[in-house]
Each structure stands twice: as C-alpha cells, then as structure tokens.
Amino acid sequence: MPSPSDSIDPANGVSRRSFMQTLGASAAAASITSSAQALEQRPSLKREPGVEGPGPIDIVLDVNGQPRRLRVEPSTTLLEALRLQIGLTGTKEICDRGSCGGCCVILDGKLVNACMMFAADAAGAKLTTVEGLASGGALQPVQEAFIRHDALQCGYCTPGFLVASAWLLKETPKPSLDQIKKALSGNICRCGTYTNVFNAVLEASGQPVLIDPILS
Amino acid sequence: MPDSTVLLPTNNRPANTGSSMNDDASRLDGIAKVTGAAKYGRDVYVPNSLFVAFVRCPWGVGELVSSNRDAAMKVPGVLDVELTKKEGQYHGATVGHMIAESPAALSRGMSELACRWKRREAKTRLAEEIGEEPPIGEAAAAALAKGSKRLEADYSTEVQTHSSLETHGVSIDFKSDSAVVYASTQGTFSVRDGLDERLKLKRSQYEVVCEYVGGGFGSKLGGAGKEGITAAMIAAKYNRPVYLFCNRAEEHLDTGNRPGSRTRVRIGFNDDGTIVGGEIRTWGSVGPNKSGGGCNVPSGRYNLGDTKKAHEDVALNAGMPRAFRAPGHPQGSFAEEMMLDEVAFACGLDPLALRLKLIRSDAIKEMASLGARQIGWDNRRPTGSQKGVVRRGMGMGITSWGRFPAAVEAEVVINQDGSIEARTGTQDIGTGQRTMVGIVTSSTLGVSLDAVTVRIGRSTLPEGPGSGGSVTAVNSAPAFIAAAEDAKRKMLEALTQRMNAEPGELDIADGVIRRGERNAVQWKDACAMLGNAITGKGVNNRATVDADKTTGNSGGAQFVDLEVDTETGVIAVRRIVAVQACGRVVSRKLAESQIIGGVIQGLSYALFEDRLLDRVTGAMVNPNLEWYKIAGPCDMPRIEPILWTKDGTGARPLGEPPTIPTSGAIACALFNALGTPVRSLPLTPDKVLTALGSGERA
C-alpha cells in the first residue's frame, strides 16, 4: 500500500494516499454538518412580520452581488423568481419539494433549497447561486476539480452539488470523506457521479483523493 | 505486475498511462455545466410563452364524472381546457390539458377545474394477476428429471422509474413561419420527424435543439412523445411559444419505467454443478397495453444445458414501461446469478468456480478471474458459515452486450481562420458524446483537443442515431475517423499544391504541418493558404459495421463485498469491482464514469427502488424523490472500474452493460453473508429479516 507522502499523480498533481488512511482520518474527525441540518436553521428574515398580498409585491433580491428589483406574487418561490424572472437557470428545479438539492443556493451563509422558501423571504439577504461561484471569470478550485474528476455526467444535478460543496468547504475547509458524504446527503444524482464528486471535493480542499490498492 | 491490457482505476494507473486515446481529457462541456451556463430544454423560457399542463387520472382506473370547466376558464390567465377522454387506465394517464399564460394561472385553473372521478377496481399486483401457471413442458420435465438435484425457486423484481432529473418536455419558440424546438430527448432526429404536421411547418422551417439533456436512461427515446406533440399543436394553433414540462410526480407516473418481473426457475443439475436443463418461465408487469415487460433470462451467457424459456407480459393498471438502460437485463441477471449461487450452494461449490465452468465466453472468464483477484475472492467465507451480528458477504455477476449498427453522418470542417468544427446532430445525454467526438476528431487530424469545436444536438446538423442500445460512441467514432481522415487528405492535397510539395511529403502532427522531418507551417498559416473551407465527410452504416473486424460485443464481470446487520436488516455495500470490456478506450475518464454510473444505478435498483402502488386505489403512493428512494452519497461503496482493452482496437458499447450484473452480484453477496437467499429486489431490511427468520427456523 502506498505511503502518505508517496508519488505525485501526473494527471492532477495530487499526492496519493491510501483510501483506508483517508477513512481513518475521517473517523477521528469531529462534528459533522449536513445540508439537512443546515436547512433546519432558518435564515433570519430581514422583513418585518406583516400581511403581504394578495396582489403582487415589490422586492429586491441581492443575487451574486447584484440588486434585482422584482414584482412577484407573494406565493412565488425563490426558485421560480431566480429561474423565471431573473433568468438564472443554473439553479435547477428537480423535485420541487426539498428532497433533491438541485436548487441549493447560499443565503446569508446558509445552504438552502430555493424551492422551499418564498422569494419575498429572501429579500434583503445575500444570495449566491451557481452562477456566482466563479468570480471575474475564474472558476473556484472546486469547480475546476469537478471538471477534472468528471464529477458530472448529464450535469443537471451539478449546480446543486457544487453550491453545496462550495458551502461545505467554506464551513469546513478540510472535510473528511465522511463529512463530505453527510454534507451532500441532501443532493441526488441519477447518472451516478457521487464517488467522483467526493474526489473533487477532497482535491479542492488540498487532500488526497481516494485510491485503490495496486493489482498484483 | 499490472497487465498492459487492463486499465486500473484512474487514480491508480502508473503502468497504463497512454493506453486510451486520451487519458486526461476532461468533458468539453465541463465549464458550461459547473457554471450554470449550460441551457437545458427546461431552462429555455421564451418570452410570451403559453404554459401547458395535462389533466391526469388520479386512480388505477378512473372514470371522469364531472369537472368545472367554466370555473377554470374564469381564472385570469387560463386560455383553454380541453378534455378529450372520459377514462384513465392508470394513475397519471392523460385525459386532456389546460393552457394558461403563467404557471401560477395554470395551478389556480387546475384547482378550479375540480375534476371528480369515480374510482374502479384496479389491477396492481403482478403476483395476483399471473393466474393459473401452465404445467411444465414435456421436454423440460424430462431434462429436469435427468439431474441428480433440482432447484425450484421464484425470483421477483419491482418496478424502477427512470427518474431523469430533467423531466420530459419541450419549450417551443414558435414564430408564424419558423420554430425552434428545445427538447429534452435522447433522439434529436426522432423529435424532428414527428412534428411537421403538428407544427404545420415544413421540416426546413424548424429546428430541434438539445445541446444539453438532463438524463434519459431510455425514457426519452422514440420521438416527441405526448409532451412534444401536444405542445407543438398548441403552438401552431395559438401562433405562440409554448412551454410544457412534466413535474416530478408526472415524471414518475407517465414517462416509462423498468417493468417488474417474476422468474420461476425449475432446473435439474448434477453434483458437479453441471446444469442438465429444465424450464425458466418469466412474467413482466406492464401497463394496460400489455407490452414491454421483457425479462432476459436465460441470458445466454451461461451454459444452462437444455433449459427452455417462456415469457408472458401481464397487464396492470399502472404507467407503461419504456426502454430502461439494458431493457430486461438487470431483472433477468438478478434471477440468473442468484440461481447459480443457489446451485453452487447445493453442490458445495465455490460460486466463482461454478461460473468459470458455465460461462460461455473465454474473455468473460478471464475478466471474472481478474475481478476475483482484485476484490480478494480468496477471503470470501463459505455461505452460511457466519454467526455474528454483522456479517460479510461477497458475490459476483457477469454481463454482455451486443454491438448494434446505426447510421451516422459526420462532418469535419477546417475553416480558413484555423478553426475546426466536428459536426453531428446526435445529442449528449451525459454519456460524453460531445467529448468523444472531439477526441476522435482531434487525434485523427493530428491537432490538440482544444483546437476542435464540437457541434452536436441540433437537427440541422448531419444526421445521427438516438442514444439507445449503447450505439452512439461505437457508431460515431468510425464516422468521425473517416470524416477527419477525409478532411486531412483534402487539406494536405490543397497544401501540397500551394507549397509545391511532393505528394505524400506533407503531414499533420501536434497541430503543425510537417514537411518530411521538419515543421513547415503553423496551423493557422496553413489554413490561411486554403482557397476555401474544407469539409471532410464520413459515414457509418450497416455495411461499414459489418466490414469492421476491430470491434464486437462487450462483456464484463462485477464483484461485490458487503456487510449486513442481522439485527436491523440494513445492508452496507463496501466495495464493487467492475471489470468491463471496452476495446479501444476513447476517453479514459468518461469510460470510467459510464461504468461507475452503471454500477451506482444497479446498486440503487438492488437496495432501494420500488414504485409502490396502493392496493385499493391503484395510485402510486411515492411519486416523488423522498419516498421513491434513489441511492445517495451516504450509500456509496468504493467503486473500482477496470477497463479491459484486450479484445480489439475498435470502440465497444459501454452505456448499458455495466448496469446489468450489479444487482445480482449484490444479492449473491447477501446470500453469502446470510446463508439464506433473498429472492426479491429491492433487498430491503424487512426482506432480509424475514429471510433470516425463515432460514433459522429451517
């Protein structure tokens, strides 16, 4: 079995370490935050309680650093507002009831499902969607790692996985494999890219990717 | 010693670098997909679009008694409600549709419509609808009697829905004399073919576009579907753009599924495991139309002596099957692999040794031996020998797939500004078609991958096949090799003239024009010398496929190592080794992804997926993604894809074969751990505990 400081993989410039060692490290790691747990912590609402509607209401959403003035029905979800009104369609509607993670966005530092809250409730908060991950044309390391490790096939779940991964890396800069699995447990991929996603997140956090014993 | 004809998993390949056409290339659409820029059909909202929803039957069998069309029509924004049928034969069957100016108007209109349904008795259970079993045939009975031992067992599988993450539908940008149809489809050209009469346009007046498709797995084959046809007719009628996509529930109910199955095995065998013969009778649970329930066993992969096969489709009041990644195969493979493990157990044989005796293909035997070494089969404990709470099990299964011919037209265009385009209309549903085309073109032409722009997923591009039967890569690669060779020949001919070179003196390597041994002209300068753009053409068809001896069928073997908790019945799969014949690998990473994806879908099928129909109402009770459970991140084992490149220099089919043997291998590993078989998928904790209970009483 290779040692922790062993050879450099020529493909991705990452040093190799054994899968079991990675596992061992993760077992020792402390608290695990999951997207599900994060979702329970409701973001603080910036607006005063009151009656809205039934007619359309005017709101301002701060999306990826840009103010967006919208007139929405009170029942419009954040997901609908992003996709239909603002035209940011990277955030996907897949299950439309908070069970797939396809519409993950970051709202005031919390990971939320955009289908599970009203657009009006997001007014005043700072929102980051998948379109806002890359800044100034430069991809984030985790985006580059997704491409390098082929952590996407059809790509429809990818925005949700990326936003959740970016959020995880901000909360936990060096997550263990177990922490990565738990953090992404609110996301579903149908093509079957999970193991490549794990490798992408490990690499983006400067950690060795999963490897297998050499066939002898 | 690593074997040079075997490619170990990507992160462990010191000896094998350079063994595929491109080891390190990443998906060409990677950036579009990680930035949210990739536009899927469902992402295209054309201004001024009409929104459409189907009115659907809520019960297994329902009769539409009344509805309040007038109230629905009074809802602001609702344009029309059309009810065309009075009855539905399954939950989700369409009886009409509603058209509105916005999704919100549509949902208000639907609640005002207040359809009242009379529920009738529905057929919901395969086991109950099979009816009287015909007696075993005479020949099968004779073969059965010749064996010294016999196995009589029933295996069953439940319905699996495709659950593509992008639902079925189209967004049509309709203008009075032209249209662009943004479709979520596995067949660009099959959508085009079905829409001219509906759009009331000539084929030259509209284009089907599907540059990105959010999964399909077989369910998006076969034309525009009811979604596309309905939307097209509305677009033509109202002379407006139309947006029609299913919601998640509709996707489960009415866009196809892998049918459930029952397999009744009655075979005779000898003490050495030789199968003498008998009968394998299968049933498939299908929709009310009674078709599409194939269950592929015996598969022909094993020598099962004189075993007869019989199959019958059984109609249920439930959504109809459609092709699903290797149709009929995972169901049949589960039954066949379990049957062999039970035969091995009855004979006191190692299941690997028994299979090595019965597998017909020498290549698959080699792959099975290789996979066994990789998983550590020697550490497998005898079936039934463990007594602890948590027990370990190993199992295996094999796969095979045919190479099906498909017509492909390919174009490689070299422009005077130095740009290169590879063009084919065939879509990329996540398999990597776009990248595969780019790699084949660039390496044939002698330029870098990033020099090539790949244009796919449009009906105005050269014609190619639908993504079904694992045909796209195996048939597109030869066409693009031919097209790139044609373009290269034409370019070198033109340059030979302009540079006063001898015929055969010029070549292209690493994006530079070589004259003999030296670099003569840079790519851009060479293209500037061309009098006009060059178009290389290539075709692939039945004749070229028949003439091509470098390729052929695909095979593979998978091995599973798992743990099962005998107190809770919960299974944790630890490792899966997947050896897969690939022939010449075009893209290493993408080939591995196909295998990993197939394995994960197989695992999900084996452990979780179950379309639940209410016995009384016939309604599906879990048309969502929380109760229709799909394997998630925490369910993942370590997966080791091993690419077997020994058999030929051509590409091989890779989409479907890796998902065939996974569920059977997992079930066999569970049998090994428990000592008593669980003969029904999915392998849920209740079935594990029931099997343990009955096994320990016996």
* B647 against B283, higher pLDDT: B283
Please, are residues B210 and B434 in contact by the beta-carbon 8 Å criterion? no
More confident residue, B142 or A135: B142
Residues of B in contact with A155 (CB under 8 A): 29, 32-33, 38, 212, 214, 430
Q: How far apart are CA A213 and CA A10, in angstroms?
A: 18
CATH of B41-121+168-245, one of 3.30.365.10, 3.40.190.10, 3.30.470.20, 3.10.310.40: 3.30.365.10
CB atoms within 10 A of CB B449: 19
- Determine whether the interchain pair A181/B598 forms a contact, defined as Cβ–Cβ distance below 8 Å: no
- The closest alpha carbon to B422, from B437, B408, B439, belongs to B437
Tens of pLDDT along A178-196? 999 999 999 999 999 999 9
What would the pLDDT profile of B348-387 be if each residue is shown by its tens digit? 999 999 999 999 999 999 999 999 999 999 999 999 999 9
Domain B404-547 sits in CATH at 3.30.365.10
| Closest to B228 measured CA to CA, from B149, B295, B296, B168 | B168
Do the domains A37-41+55-132 and A137-204 sit in the same CATH topology, yes or no?
no
Predicted pLDDT of residue B40: 98
Q: What is the 3-state secondary structure (H, E, C) of chain A?
A: CCCCCCCECCCCCCECCCHHHHHHHHHHCCCCCCHHHHHHCCCCCCCCCCCCCCCCEEEEEEECCEEEEEEECCCCEHHHHHHHHHCCCCCCCCCCCCCCCCCEEEECCEEEEHHHCEHHHHCCCEEECHHHCCECCECCHHHHHHHHCCCCCCCCCHHHHHHHHHHHHHHCCCCCHHHHHHHCCCCCCCCCCHHHHHHHHHHHCCCCCCCCCCCC
B505-541 pLDDT, tens per residue? Answer: 999 999 999 999 898 999 999 999 999 999 999 999 8
Give the closest-approach CA distance of B313 to chain A in angstroms.
28
The CA distance from B408 to B427, in Å, is 12
The string of DSSP letters for B474-533 reads HHHHHHHHHHHHHHHHHHHHHHHHHTTPPTT-EEEETTEEEETTEEEEEHHHHHHHSSS-
Whether residue A95 and residue B248 make contact (CB cut-off 8 A), yes or no, is yes
Provide ipTM, 2 decimals: 0.95
Closest residue in B to A191 (Cα) is B597
Partner-chain contact B248 A92, CB within 8 Å: no
If contacts are CB pairs under 8 Å, which of residues 174-213 in chain A contact chain B?
180-182, 184-185, 187-199, 209-213
Tell me how close the Cα of A186 comes to any Cα of chain B, in angstroms.
8
Cβ contacts from A onto B, under 8 A: 196
Cβ <8 Å between A89 and B36: yes
Taking CB atoms and an 8 Å cutoff, what residues of chain A touch B184? none
For the domain spanning B257-403+551-697, the CATH number is 3.30.365.10
Determine contact: B18 vs chain A, CB below 8 A.
no
Kindly list the residues from chain B whose CB atom is less than 8 angstroms away from the CB atom of residue A216. 1
CATH superfamily of A137-204: [2Fe-2S]-binding domain (1.10.150.120)
Residues 39 through 58 of chain A touching chain B, CB cutoff 8 Å: none
- For B52, B173, B190, B521, the CA distances from B177, given in Å and listed in that order, are 22, 11, 21, 47
In this chain, the answer to whether the domains covering B257-403+551-697 and B404-547 adopt an identical fold is yes
Chain B interface, best mutation among A127, A190, A207, by max B CB count within 10 A: A190
Answer yes or no: are the C-beta atoms of B339 and B153 closer than 8 Å.
yes
User: If you write DSSP's letter for every residue of B398-467 in order, what string do you get?
Assistant: EEEE------EEEEEEE-TTS-EEEE-----SSS-HHHHHHHHHHHHHTS-GGGEEEE-SBTTSPP---S
Contact yes or no for A99 and B11 at CB 8 A? no
**B220–chain A Cβ distance below 8 A for any pair:** no
What Å distances lie between residue B310 and A205, B298, B307, B360, CA to CA? Answer: 55, 10, 10, 22
**Is residue B168 within 8 Å of B52, Cβ to Cβ?**
no
Cα–Cα distance for residue pair B274/B271, rounded to 1 Å: 7
The C-alpha atoms of residue B99 and residue B237 are separated, in whole angstroms, by 12
Quick one: pLDDT at residue B134?
83
Please indicate if any CB of chain B lies within 8 Å of the CB of A34.
no
How does pLDDT run across B397-408, given as a tens digit for each residue? Answer: 999 999 899 999
Determine the distance in angstroms separating the CA of B105 from the nearest CA of chain A, rounded to an integer: 11
The domain limits of chain A are 37-41+55-132, 137-204
Which of A10, A139, A192 lies nearest to residue B34, judging by beta carbons? A139
Environment class of A182 (CB within 10 Å of its CB; exposed 0-12, middle 13-18, buried 19+) = buried
Strands of the sheet containing B149-157, edge to edge, are B149-157, B260-269, B275-286, B306-315
Pick B597's closest partner by Cβ from A80, A130, A193: A193
Tens digit of each residue's pLDDT (9 = 90 or more) over B607-644: 999 999 999 999 999 999 999 999 999 999 999 999 99
Out of A77-86, B136-145, B244-253, B487-496, which region has the weakest mean confidence (pLDDT)? B136-145
Number of neighbours of residue A125 by Cβ within 10 angstroms: 21
User: Chain B contacts of A162, Cβ < 8 Å?
Assistant: 34
B248–A211: do the CB atoms touch at under 8 Å?
A: no
pLDDT value at A15 more than 50: no
- Condensed to tens digits (0 to 9), the pLDDT of residues A138-168 reads 999 999 999 999 999 999 999 999 999 999 9
Confirm or reject contact between B543 and chain A (CB < 8 A): no
Distance from CA of A117 to the nearest CA of B (A): 16
DSSP state of B86: S
Please determine, for residue A216, whether its predicted confidence score (pLDDT) is greater than 50.
no
* Single-letter amino acid, residue B685: P
Residues of A with CB below 8 A from B6's CB?
215
Q: What is the pLDDT of residues B548-574, one digit of tens each?
A: 877 778 899 999 999 999 999 999 999
User: Using an 8 Å Cβ cutoff, are B245 and B43 in contact?
Assistant: no
pLDDT reported for residue A38: 47
**Alpha-carbon gap: B293 to the closest alpha carbon of chain A (Å):** 23
Sequence ranges of the domains in chain B: 41-121+168-245, 257-403+551-697, 404-547
Q: Are A155 and A140 in contact (CB under 8 A)?
A: no
Does B4 touch chain A if contact means CB atoms closer than 8 Å?
no
Query: Quick one: pLDDT at residue B545?
Result: 84
**For residue B623, which of B633, B634, B632, B613 has the smallest C-alpha distance?**
B613
Is there a contact between A152 and B2 if contact means CB atoms under 8 Å apart? no
Yes or no, beta carbons of B12 and A212 under 8 Å apart: yes
* Yes or no: domain A37-41+55-132 corresponds to CATH 3.30.470.10: no
B477-to-B480, B556, B585 alpha-carbon distances in Å: 5, 22, 11
- Cα of first residue to Cα of last residue in chain B, in angstroms, is 47
- Say what the pLDDT of residue A189 is: 98
Report the distance separating Cα B166 and Cα A103, nearest Å.
Answer: 13
User: Per the CB < 8 Å rule, is A158 touching B34?
Assistant: yes
The answer for residues whose C-beta is within 8 angstroms of residue B362's C-beta and 6 or more apart is: none
Give A 3-32 residues with CB within 8 A of chain B. 7, 9-11, 16, 19
What pLDDT digit, counting tens, does each position of B130-183 carry? 988 888 889 899 999 999 999 999 999 999 999 999 999 999 999 999 999 999
Distance CA B480, CA B540 (A): 9
Task: Find the farthest-apart pair of alpha carbons in chain A and give their distance in angstroms, rounded.
Answer: 71
CA distance B506 to chain A (A): 33
The enclosing H or E element of B670 equals: helix B662-674
pLDDT tops 60 at residue B253: yes
Q: What is the mean pLDDT of residues B234-247?
A: 98
Tell me which amino acid residue B297 is: V
Position B203, amino acid: R
